[in-house]
Amino acid sequence: MDWTWFHKFGSPPHVYRLAGVLTPWFAWPAALLILGALYGGLVLAPPDYQQGDGFRIIYVHAPSAWLAVMIYAVMATAAGVGLIWRMKVAHAVAASCAGVGAWFTVVSLLTGMLWGKPMWGTYWVWDPRLTAQLILLFLYLGFMGLRASIDDLSRADRASAVLALVGVVNLPIIRYSVEWWNSIHQAPSVMKMDRPSMPFDMLAPLLAMLLGFTLYFGAVLLIRLRAEILRRERNASWIREELT
């Protein structure tokens, strides 16, 4: 089997050009899906029979929480690939993920707090799911802080990759915390083995927003990856050729 196509993904010039080509293919569908999902969720979807219109924050909260976990998995996978196979582009992907994942985690925590105040009577409780999500934010911040504290890029890549891989243990805790421990957090209503418990007119905008956020992450990742490659390869000859 010819594996040359795979090895191309270790080439900074190839990945830089490919990211530039793919970015619009992620960005435009993401914008359309997010706008359509906002209209469907905020205007077309009926109020919840228990939560009223307050449930509509789920269209931002749930996709943000999902992206926070998914991006960490992508970051840790890229960091592991870079650590094992010493691929500079993989480390660049991991570095590009961290800031985006941290912001999605912040949004998920803030929207959860805004929802929790009217539903639970308080902005914050030390619930297993909420606590694990807060730890996820600290892992992102720790990853970025560790990278920034080490001047040597190779050492920074290796050290942050180890931290990212250790932090993976938190992901199943986030996912299954409401099932493993007593939790006041709402149980999964979409990501479950049987049929989703949400009616379709509420579920469709949520799934569209989830896909839109995922594509948005893809677009932002590609943009950040190009910038990270430029930073790492700023003295390479191909950079001068690319920009002239």
Q: Kindly tell me if the per-residue pLDDT of 149 is higher than 50.
A: yes
Token pair recorded at residue 144:
């970025």
- Decide which of 89 and 197 is more confident: 89
CB 80 within 8 A of CB 158: no
- Which one, of 138, 67, 72, 144, lies nearest residue 107 by Cα? 67
Buried b (16+ CB within 10 A) or exposed e, 76-97: bbbbbbbbeeebbbbbbbbbbb
Q: Kindly tell me if the per-residue pLDDT of 41 is higher than 50.
A: yes
- What single DSSP character describes residue 195? -
- Decide which of 145 and 2 is more confident: 145
Reported confidence tier of residue 6, pLDDT bands at 50, 70, 90: low
Q: What region, left, alpha or beta, does residue 121 occupy, with left being phi > 0 and alpha being psi -120 to 50 degrees?
A: left
CB 153 within 8 A of CB 232: yes
> How much is the pLDDT for 206?
95
> How much is the pLDDT for 7?
66
The span from the CA of 194 to the CA of 104, in Å, is 27
Structural domain boundaries in the chain: 18-190+197-243
Q: Mean pLDDT, the chain, as a whole number?
A: 89
- What single DSSP character describes residue 235? T
CB 88 within 8 A of CB 231: no
Q: Kindly tell me if the per-residue pLDDT of 193 is higher than 50.
A: no
Buried b (16+ CB within 10 A) or exposed e, 20-39: eeebeebbebbeebbebbbe
Across residues 8-17, what is the average pLDDT? 88
This prediction has a pTM of 0.92
Residue partners of 146: CB distance under 8 A and separation at least 6: 156, 159, 160, 163
Calculate what percentage of the chain has a pLDDT beyond 70.
89
The span from the CA of 13 to the CA of 20, in Å, is 11
